[in-house]
Amino acid sequence: MIPKLKEKEKAINLRKKGFSYSEILKEVPVAKSTLSLWLQDIGLAKKQKQLLTEKKKRAQRKGAEARREQRITLTRVIKHRARKEISEISKRDLWITGIALYWGEGAKEKRKAAQVSLCNTDPRLIKIFLRWLNEICEISESDINFRIHLHKNSRNRARKVQKYWSQTTGFSIKRFDKITWKKHNVKTKRVNTGDCYFGLLEVRVKSSTNLNRKIAGWIEGICENI
């Protein structure tokens, strides 16, 4: 009985110092139900409550950081394995990939004459599309036009944005002088804001109504043969 009394006294003293139940159980090896019974009438001063709250927050932050590291590691492993599943891309692979990209992101023929046009913010997608136009559709660089769509509050970054898309595509910066200004939405949910925001790039092909129709036929062919 005496050892239990000593354990109870130790538990009470630790609690009064602001120790949490889990911390006390490490020092006093008893059942949690027993500890709860011992401490049910032990009030805590404001300072002790603040201490426990801070310990709880630290534990939560530590747990969140550990989960974040696990997520980052898992994501890295999954992506690495997935990349290895993609071998060298053949011309046919590029052909089908470009059709799928245009199907999802390109302008469709909604009137009598609709030129080939694709808009996106992802520089990787833009690069693939330009390569597809050149190698699959045999479109020359002189037949490609660009238009940047940018929010009005980024006017002071216009030159930087033009340089960014010029470097991304390999085309002269003079080809990016056309900018459409969009009304700024302060409640935007976009992730790419501030210095990471380079607007949306529109790629257009001159006199390409028939090419647009041909792409539509390719899409129909995929649907019929998939």
pTM of the model: 0.70
Q: Where are the beta strands (DSSP E) in the chain?
A: 117-120, 144-151, 179-182, 200-205
Mean pLDDT, the chain, integer = 88
Confidence label for 22 from pLDDT (cuts 50, 70 and 90)? confident
The burial class, CB within 10 Å (0-12 / 13-18 / 19+), for 175 is middle
Q: Where are the domains of the chain?
A: 2-80, 91-225
31 three-state secondary structure = coil
pLDDT tens per residue, range 65-122: 999 999 999 999 999 999 999 989 999 999 999 999 999 999 887 666 689 999 999 9
pLDDT tens per residue, range 163-179: 999 999 999 999 999 99
Fold of 91-225: 60s Ribosomal Protein L30; Chain: A; (3.30.1330)
Alpha-carbon torsion angle 126, 127, 129, 134, nearest 10: 140
Distance in angstroms (rounded) separating the CA atoms of residues 13 and 16: 5
pLDDT above 90 as % of the chain: 59
Q: Which strands form 179-182's sheet, in the order they lie side by side?
A: 117-120, 200-205, 144-151, 179-182
SS3 track for 110-126: CCCCCCCEEEECCHHHH
SS3 track for 59-83: HHHHHHHHHHHHHHHHHHHHHHHHH
